[in-house]
Each structure stands twice: as structure tokens, then as C-alpha cells.
A and B are shown apart, each in its own frame.
Chain A
Amino acid sequence: MAITSRGFSGRRSATNVKLPPGQYLTTDFPVLSAGPTPHIPLDRWEFTIDDGTDVLQRWNWKSFRDLPTDTITADLHCVTRWSKLATSWEGVSLDVLLADVKTDLPYAMFRSYGDYTTNLPLKDVMNKQAWIAFNFDGADLAPEHGGPARLLVPHLYLWKSAKWVKGITLMPHDKPGFWENLGYHIYGDPWKEQRYSGDE
């Protein structure tokens, strides 16, 4: 039961958009990262999919950019409570990247340059729910926002959309990634307000 804050009326949003609980609307694009921004030259960039033992797929920047792409309009919800609506992206869907991967492994660890990791159930990145995005708002994705390419999985809190992504390791069991090991929720559904470990 919340206590009332004497003299607080708040500044309600003038719009009627429905946001996940505890979020507020912003129009700018804040940055949150645990460490320095990596600067990855495109001629050294690669993206791999492995099963923990063998590399199953590998792309360099050119072969990655030869893949079919989608344009995506997505609402972003950050665990630090800002939401940004109707952002535009271009990226390669995980459906395309995983099309030739035969696997029964149900979980994925996304790996990034700079050693960031985040875990996701494989079913959450299939069926046009997730992309490796390289273009934001009509321009190459800036390094501080995860360029040259980041995961975009807009139905979960934004820390799941790993910046500077370089690959996927498929796993038999779910395992916490970087923030999930440091007090954040293992799954991170903004509509259920799964912010921190211990949230249902």
C-alpha cells in the first residue's frame, strides 16, 4: 500500500498511450552501459552462432549485410524507467540467422564485444520478435547505441537488446548473463514489471 507524498501531484502524460507499469515517456535516447564503448572496425566484425562446442554459422560484415532485412518500428522500455515509442530500425531477423541451424537447445546466450552477455529463451527471438539491427532512424547505428550492430528484442526490457553483439551460444538450460547476475530479472518482461531478481 503506497503512502501518499504530501504536496505531490505529478506531471501526467498528455497522451493516452499505454505504457508498462512504472515507466515514463521520453523523446530522447539515453545511454546505459557498464563500461567503455567498444569501437569495432567493420572489416574485423563477425557474428557467429555456436552450440557451446562447435561454430554452426559465421558471417562477416559483408555476408551479414547481404542477408534480407526488415524495417522495424518498435517501442523501447528501459529498466531505468524511460520508454521511447515508435523508434525505427533496420535489421536482420533472428529467423533469417537461425534458418539453417538445426537445434533442440532451447536457450541462447547473446555475446557482445566488450564481454557483455544476456540470456534469452530461443522462442523469444523467433517469429519476428528479434533482430540484429544496424540502422537507427535512417542512419548507421552509433557506437554508443550499440553500433555497428546490436540485438533488438523490443518486447523485453532494453538491457536484453545487447549492444555490440557478436554472436549467440545456444544452451540446454537457462543461465544468467551480465546484468542478470547482478540483481536484474532473469527474463525481464516490462508489462509484468520484471525489473529485479525477486520480482515475480
Chain B
Amino acid sequence: MWRVGTVVALHDETATARTVRLEVPDWPGHLAGQHVDVRLTASDGYSAVRSYSIASAPNSEGRVELTVERLSNGEVSPYLTQELAAGDRLELRGPIGGWFVWRTQQTEPIQLIAGGSGLVPLMAMIRSRLSAGGTAPFRLLYSVREPAAVFYRDELHALSAHDHSVGVCYAYTRTAPKDWPRPPGRIEATLIATGAWPPNLGPTSYVCGPTSFVENVTDLLIAAGHGRENIRTERFGATGERK
């Protein structure tokens, strides 16, 4: 069943990513980590559908936020990040997915590991925890190309500054800020050992990013002693319009 949402706000996260806030009057609600299908239809009836992760926490107001990274060869993401305007209507189907989700009843430590725009569903988990007043200890390890590519910068900064139960650790892969202690590079065993919850605390880990990122991180987690049954993943390939 396709629902119609109205665009009520747009916000640029980076030079290539935009957050779209929708109001969906008959939205059935969602869980943090779920995604939606978005359908665009041309005037001659041609349509294209892609999946995007929901960035907003579960709420009862029918508010759905998507953060979309523009792909240069994409069909739907250029429209959502460049053409779409406040007041436009957008068709959605969902929420979809019952595995890569965090529920507010979960009390175990949570390790979030994001690669680039893979942060989006993990941000929904952080927001869900905050809006529910949850106390589960959260850590986010965020692998990102450079400071200018960071999503939700102010919100993440406020989290680590004011709410010490959500620790945020950045791993820059190409360019780090001046005087950053760690040279740019992909996540390695040392960073998992120092920046992630240790296995003896029994954390659940959520890993989202490009395929090669997820393969690398999950191999490191398992090598560090994390049980594979406690690791949930969401991958996107090179076509990548999912998340």
C-alpha cells in the first residue's frame, strides 16, 4: 500500500546529502532501523522506486525523515536531493524490515558502526533511545571520508558533549582534522579494541555501510571475540540507492 507524504522541510547535511522531512497522515509507525520504498512517477506514468533508511525516531505524529546521499549516476537520489521542494508530495511504502532494528526494550550495550551514509538507520536508533528516555549504553563508531562529509554534525556533537551515555568516535578514512590523533585510514583492529564495547559486556552490534566496509568491520568484530549472533548488518552495493 502506497501512502502519500508531504515534504515539510529540507535540510542539507553535506554538499551531497539532504534530509527530507515528510508528514504522512496515515503513517502506521516504525522502528529505528527500518526503511521505506520511495516511488517517483513521471507525467507519462513511468516510475522508479528505491529504498531509503528512516533517520527519524519512532513517533506518533506521522513524521518520517529520510537522509539521502546523491549518487552521480543515480535515478532517484538526484531528484530527492536537488529537485524536491517543500510542499511536494512523495509516495512511500513501508516501514519495511524487521531484522536490522533496535527496540526501546533492549537494555544491553549497543555498538553502532557506520560507514558513510550507513549512519542513517543508526542515527534513528540513537534518536529512538533519546526520545524514549532509554538508558541502554550506546557507542557510535563512525567511519567517514572527511570532516565535511559528517552527517548530523551538531546533533552528534551535542550528544557526546552532554550525554555521556552515547559515546561518539570518528574514524576518518581520507582527511582528518588538524592534530587528529589517528592518521586517516579504514577501521582496524586497534580501533575496534579501543573504540568499541568489549565482548564481555555482551553488546549487540549494528554495522551499516558499503559491502567492503561491512565485511571488514564484521571480520574485525569476530576476531575480537564478538559472537556472530550478536552482530546485525545492513550492506549497500555500488548501485547503492538503499540507505
A190 to B46, CA, bound (A): 19
Indicate which residue in B83, B91, B232, B242 contacts A80 across the interface (CB closer than 8 Å).
B242
Q: Does B98 lie within 8 Å of A182, measured CB to CB?
A: yes
B22 located at the interface, meaning its Cβ lies under 8 Å from any Cβ of chain A in the complex: no
List B contacts of A5 (CB < 8 A): 40-42, 79, 88, 90
How many pairs, one residue from A and one from B, have CB atoms within 8 Å of each other in the complex?
Answer: 105
List B contacts of A115 (CB < 8 A): 229
In this complex, what residue of A is CB-closest to B93?
A196
List A contacts of B41 (CB < 8 A): 2-5, 8
- By size class, the interface of chain B is 35 or more
Tell me the interface secondary structure of chain A in the complex.
Answer: loop
Give residues 63-122 of B contacting A (CB, 8 Å).
Answer: 75, 79, 83, 88-91, 96-100
- Measured CB to CB, the closest approach of chain A to B24, in angstroms, equals 13
- Tally A residues with Cβ within 8 Å of B: 38
- Measured CB to CB, the closest approach of chain A to B5, in angstroms, equals 11
Q: Does B50 lie within 8 Å of A2, measured CB to CB?
A: no
A183 located at the interface, meaning its Cβ lies under 8 Å from any Cβ of chain B in the complex: yes
A80 to B241, CA, bound (A): 9
With known contacts A4-B41, A8-B40, A8-B79, A31–B90 Cβ distance under 8 A: no
Q: Does B47 lie within 8 Å of A182, measured CB to CB?
A: no
B221 located at the interface, meaning its Cβ lies under 8 Å from any Cβ of chain A in the complex: yes
With known contacts A5-B40, A36-B222, A30–B228 Cβ distance under 8 A: no
In this complex, what residue of A is CB-closest to B83?
A7
List A contacts of B98 (CB < 8 A): 181-183
Can you offer 17 A-B residue contacts whose CB atoms are under 8 A?
A2-B91, A4-B43, A6-B88, A8-B40, A8-B83, A10-B75, A12-B46, A22-B49, A30-B237, A31-B211, A31-B237, A34-B233, A35-B232, A36-B228, A81-B50, A114-B228, A183-B96
Q: Contacts A28-B239, A36-B233, A80-B51 given; 6 further ones with Cβ under 8 A?
A: A2-B41, A10-B75, A24-B75, A36-B222, A36-B231, A80-B242
Interface residues of B (CB under 8 A from A): 1-2, 4, 39-43, 45-51, 75, 79, 83, 88-91, 96-100, 211, 215, 218-219, 221-222, 228-229, 231-233, 235-240, 242
